[in-house]
Amino acid sequence: MSSSKIGFDNDKYLKMQSERIRERIANFGDKLYLEFGGKLYDDFHASRVLPGFKPDSKLQMLLQLKDEAEIVIVINASDIEKNKIRGDLGITYDVDVIRLYNVFTKIGLYVSSVVLTRYEGQRSAVAFQKRLEALGVKVYHHYAIEGYPSNLPLIMSDEGYGKNDYIETSRKLVVITAPGPGSGKMATCLSQLYHEHKRGVNAGYAKFETFPIWNIPLKHPVNLAYEAATADLNDVNMIDPFHLEAYGQTTVNYNRDVEIFPVLNAMFENILGESPYKSPTDMGVNMAGNCIVDDEVVREAAKQEIIRRYYVALCERKKGMASEEDAYKLEMLMNQAKVSTADRKAVAAALAKEQETGAPAAAMELPDGTIITGKTSNLLGACSALVLNALKYFGEIDDSVLLMSPHVIEPIQNLKINHLGNNNPRIHTDETLIALSICAATDENAKRAMDQLEKLRGCEVHSTVILSAVDERIFKRLGVNLTCEPKFS
């Protein structure tokens, strides 16, 4: 079900969240290092599972604190080396760091530096540092510590955190963010606490992570969807045992935070004399759970996200980019959420169309529940046909109307086959949209169709074959939630 129903109160969230962070800054005299988990900018996962959450909510919230905040972006040097890709945007982590730097700076947030964690002089990390420095960005290095996180005597010494560069900061709130998980945000915060303490600065640490949501049930679909999103990291949500023991209260956290908490506690005691926190839940400042206004809407959206993640894992496995385990883990999460692929309506419609036509097909579920399909033809790929059919539906244009003149399509096909060396004459979604926009200059129906593009945002699409990178990228840009059968055309 793609839904236009709202399950989350975004305005309430912005207000509560910035108040909560200000409170936490006040708790620690001089400085607060705030680990910002998840995506700070364009958090599409949160906006899919919490309908009403705006993808840039966290950014808007930070803007309310912008005079007291500075941002430090952290990236794992081995992720640069491996060309790790941010799945939702299809760009590498290093490219994303520069994108984030530009986004933050443009809207008036102060980015003071970038930290390369697990730095070992990797060639691509060195090259990346030069790029950053050419932009005028300060770069620091943090190193891997033998036996981290359990070897406390080493970690809390000049050979451990002491070996890391000290990051120069000038504001009360230092937000530590990253292009994705596993970048070393928490270690960066703790390393700074160690260095600040040596300099006589009274600094604190807190964590802002949207998921898992600590004050909804462990097996709530929203929390399961978070596990689905991090299946490749082996993150598991769990009851916070420290919180339960300290307060007799059941809250949800995840394994990495629970595992590291005794270490954190020992570090706080070592650095601050006593620990300000009794549990991982205490460290958090997340208020999202208090802003869910329709639990049913949110549950349904999260279940759909789990199914989508399952299809992504199947396709990644088919491309040789993911393990069997990831797909099995997602199957297990689907069972826990009591959903199956049959609950994604576009799937059955696409498969039926493929069977009927004997060629790749695609289907789209619109917010009102209507199903639109697209088939492969001589001129158009299935997804191109699907997009045109959906635009006709939204624009109330008769199905028999040709939106694009063959006079426009044929030269594109000619260019592809005779000059660009393509074997497939059918036009991709990007070419379709360009052709449609050309036709819109002279054709009223094509113009009306173009005016409907925004309505595709949030629609659910399923393709019976793995799409080309171009088609995938266009669907992402249109805000369409895409899944594919794990097979090549």
pLDDT digits (tens, 9 = 90+) for 360-415: 999 999 999 999 999 999 889 999 999 999 999 999 999 999 998 888 888 888 88
Domain with residues 10-218+233-291, CATH architecture? Roll (3.10)
The pLDDT assigned to 241 comes to 97
Mean pLDDT for 188-216 is 93
Across 84-98, 188-202, 417-431, least confident range: 84-98
Is the pTM for the entire model greater than 0.85? yes
What percent of the chain is predicted at pLDDT more than 70? Answer: 99
Mean pLDDT for 35-53 is 87
Across 87-101, 167-181, 351-365, least confident range: 87-101
The pLDDT assigned to 429 comes to 94
The pLDDT assigned to 424 comes to 82
The pLDDT assigned to 421 comes to 86
pLDDT band (50, 70, 90) for residue 1: very low
Residue 209 has pLDDT above 70, yes or no: yes
Residue 308 has pLDDT above 80, yes or no: yes
The pLDDT assigned to 149 comes to 80
The pLDDT assigned to 232 comes to 80
The pLDDT assigned to 189 comes to 94
How confident is the prediction for the chain on average, in pLDDT? 92
Tell me if the domain spanning 345-484 has CATH number 3.40.140.40: yes
The pLDDT assigned to 2 comes to 45
The pLDDT assigned to 489 comes to 84
Residue 156 has pLDDT above 60, yes or no: yes
The pLDDT tens digits for 161-200 are: 999 999 999 999 999 999 888 899 999 999 999 999 999 9
The pLDDT assigned to 151 comes to 87
The pLDDT assigned to 123 comes to 93
The pLDDT tens digits for 241-278 are: 999 999 999 999 989 889 889 888 988 898 888 899 99
Three-state SS for the chain is CCCCCCCECHHHHHHHHHHHHHHHHHHCCCEEEEEECCCCCCCHHHHHHCCCCCCCHHHHHHHCCCCCEEEEEEEEHHHHHCCCEECCCCEEHHHHHHHHHHHHHHCCCCEEEEEEECCCCCHHHHHHHHHHHHCCCEEEECCCCCCCCCCHHHHCCCCCHHHCCCCCCCCCEEEEECCCCCCCHHHHHHHHHHHHHHCCCCEEEEEECCCCCCCCCCCCHHHHHHHHHCHHHCCCEEECHHHHHHHCCCCEEEHHHHHHHHHHHHHHHHHHCCCCCCCHHHHECCCHHHHECCHHHHHHHHHHHHHHHHHHHHHHHHCCCCCHHHHHHHHHHHHHHCCCHHHCHHHHHHHHHHHHHCCCEEEEECCCCCEEEEECCCCECHHHHHHHHHHHHHHCCCCCCCCCCHHHHHHHHHHHHHHCCCCCCCECHHHHHHHHHHHHCCCHHHHHHHCCHHHHCCCEEEECCCCCHHHHHHHHHHCCEEEECCCCC
Mean pLDDT for 36-51 is 86
Q: Could you state, in order of their start, the residue ranges of all structural domains in the chain?
A: 10-218+233-291, 345-484
Mean pLDDT for 326-353 is 96
The pLDDT assigned to 105 comes to 94
